[in-house]
Amino acid sequence: MATQTTTADTRKSRQGERRVVSNIMRGSIGNLIEWYDWYAYTAFSVYFAAAFFPSGDQTAQLLNTAAVFAVGFLMRPIGGWVLGRYADRRGRRSALTLSVTLMAAGSLIVALTPSYDTIGVVAPVLLVTARLLQGLSVGGEYSTSATYMSEVASPGRRGYYSSFQYVTLIAGQLTALGLQIILQQLLSGTQMESWGWRIAFVVGAAGAIVVLWLRRGMDESESFERAAAEGEKGSGPARGSLRMLLSYPRQCLIVVGLTMGGTLFFYTYTTYLQKFMVNTSGIAKPTAAWINFFALLVFVLLQPVMGLLSDRIGRRPMLIGFGVLGAIVVVPSLTLLSHTSDPVYAFLLMVGPLAVSSLYTSISAVVKAELFPTSIRALGVGLPYALTVALFGGTAEYVALWFKDAGHESWYFYYVTACVLVSLLVYIRMRETSDGSPLESEAKD
């Protein structure tokens, strides 16, 4: 009888683990498409900058597209608030389905908008509208997917499973870069600038429709279902309300502090570095795309390794490691990269800092989720994070290009270093989030 019971428990455990993997995969694929759409803008902006803005020098046109990129980030706090609130009240699955719908709409607008030469100022207006929709979508996607993956993950393996949020986030960027490389092989530079770049946004919109169908089959997280049932019986602030969020001021400030340096470092070495290689190092656009692709491929493979490591040694030591190494590596790596056009050397100068960044990115989602209870988790993760990303990550390209245009490009290197040092102070002072987190206590109930 004991043997039968053990066998039944083992079978049930395996089925539960398979269900976890299935839900993580469905959430991850959707996350990949969301971030593909988001990063396609950056990957292809070197080709469509002239299509949406008046003729001018390359740096001026890139400044315009970087400004629109930053505008999209300004919507991310609103997305974090609106969709985070929606996720805490109506469920994670419903919010994830809504976010991918908004992303599909934004991609279609970019794909179908005529050039500036055809419709004048309406072209950049429509581009901004599309980025506002995508910013709203991504703001909600990050908070809800971080919450969902952390809640459905098996206890003791939350770092590993949650790392797949950044696996798919980076994979989305890799997919955008991969498509860019393929199109560069098939089309001439003139064709890419004329219409080839539009293919990327058509692909993104089509992928979002597929994800919409996949996400309808996801399980709702058990943590949310329990919190929803308890919320209907209790009193006090409504789930997902700003009033409830304000009762966790320390956790909100920790999210801001730990995100500040991490997001600026991440966007510097991912979204901005391709432009840096082209515009400063003088590396050809196709070569820069290949360098970025292979460096990001290494980066994505590091995420689950680092996530698994965090389940063994804790989150805080890894964050401190990122803060120390990140502050050391920025100035020398960007300085050396600005003086080389050698592809191999450029690759090494990119992949080294990305390896350092993985100490932060692999556990970014789970650390934030471990700070808040279920009833406010999506909004707690989303709103302070999105505000910080809008201020620092979203403006990274624009600030870097502004310094370059002003003739002081190296000042940007020290700006990134200073922000990483501020976050390091937060990492040193914060507690280990995996010990006694609301996520673990809820799993035992």
Return the pLDDT at 15. 58
How many domains are there within the chain?
A: 1
- CA–CA separation, 71 vs 69, rounded Å? 5
pLDDT tens, the chain, 445 aa long: 555 555 544 555 555 567 777 777 777 777 788 788 877 877 787 777 777 776 655 565 566 666 666 677 678 888 888 888 888 888 888 888 888 888 888 888 888 888 777 887 788 788 888 888 888 888 888 778 888 888 877 777 788 888 888 888 888 888 887 888 888 889 887 888 888 889 998 998 888 888 878 777 777 777 777 777 766 544 455 666 788 888 889 999 999 999 999 999 999 998 888 888 988 888 888 888 889 889 989 999 999 999 999 999 999 999 999 999 999 999 999 999 999 889 999 999 999 999 999 999 999 988 998 888 888 888 888 889 888 988 898 788 888 888 988 888 889 999 999 999 999 999 999 998 877 767 666 555 5
**Residue 231 resides in a domain:** no
Over residues 198-244, the pLDDT tens digits come to: 999 899 888 888 887 877 777 777 777 777 776 654 445 566 678 88
Residue 256: partners with Cβ closer than 8 Å, 6 or more residues away: 384, 385, 387, 388
Q: Looking at the chain, how many residues does it have? A: 445
Taking the C-alpha atoms of residue 265 and residue 79, their distance in angstroms, rounded to an integer, is 22
User: Is 394 a domain residue?
Assistant: yes
Q: Is residue 128 part of a domain?
A: yes
Amino acid sitting at position 25: M
- What's the one-letter identity of residue 106? G
Q: Is residue 120 part of a domain?
A: yes
Please report where in the chains the tokens 């390091």 appear, as a residue.
Answer: 424
Whole-angstrom distance, CA of residue 152 vs CA of residue 162: 9
Q: Where are the beta strands (DSSP E) in 308-361?
A: none
DSSP state of 63: H
What is the DSSP secondary structure assignment for residue 54, as one 8-state letter?
-
188 burial level (CB within 10 Å; 0-12, 13-18, 19+):
exposed
CB contact set of 329 (below 8 Å; sequence gap of 6+) = 352, 353, 356
Looking at 91-197, list the stretches that DSSP marks H as alpha helix, in order from N- to C-terminal side: 92-112, 116-119, 122-152, 158-162, 164-186, 189-191
For residues 80 and 146, what is the distance between their CA atoms, to the nearest angstrom? 12
Nearest to 66 by CA among 391, 410, 406, 401: 401
Which three-class secondary structure state does DSSP give residue 157?
coil
Contact 331, 413 (CB under 8 A): yes
Instruction: Flag whether 7 is in a domain.
Output: no
**Is residue 3 assigned to a domain?**
no
Q: Which residue in 343, 349, 332 sits closest to 288, CA to CA?
A: 343
Q: Which residues have C-beta within 8 Å of that of residue 367, sequence separation ≥ 6?
A: 258, 315, 319, 433
Instruction: Give residue 179's domain range.
Output: 25-224+241-444
Residue 210 placed within a domain: yes
Q: What is the DSSP string of 200-269?
A: HHHHHHHHHHHHHHHHTTPPPPHHHHHHHHHHHH--SSPTT-HHHHTT-HHHHHHHHHHHHHHHHHHHII
pLDDT, tens digit (0-9, with 9 covering 90-100), for 355-413: 999 999 999 988 998 888 888 888 888 889 888 988 898 788 888 888 988 888 889 99
Residue 194 lies in a domain: yes
* CB under 8 A, 24+ apart: contacts of 126-129: 127/52, 127/68, 128/68, 128/71
d(CA 108, CA 204): 8
Burial grade of 232 (CB within 10 A; 0-12, 13-18, 19 or more) = exposed
Q: What distance, in Å, lies between the first and last C-alpha atoms of the chain?
A: 28
CATH code for the domain of 344: 1.20.1250.20
- Tell me, what's the pLDDT at 398? 82
Contact 101, 138 (CB under 8 A): no
Q: In degrees rounded to 5, what are phi and psi of residue 406?
A: -85, -5
Q: Which two tokens stand for residue 339?
A: 């003086």
Amino acid 14: pLDDT: 57
Give CA–CA dist 400/270, Å, rounded: 13
Residue with tokens 């001018």: 56
Residue matched to tokens 């914060």: 430
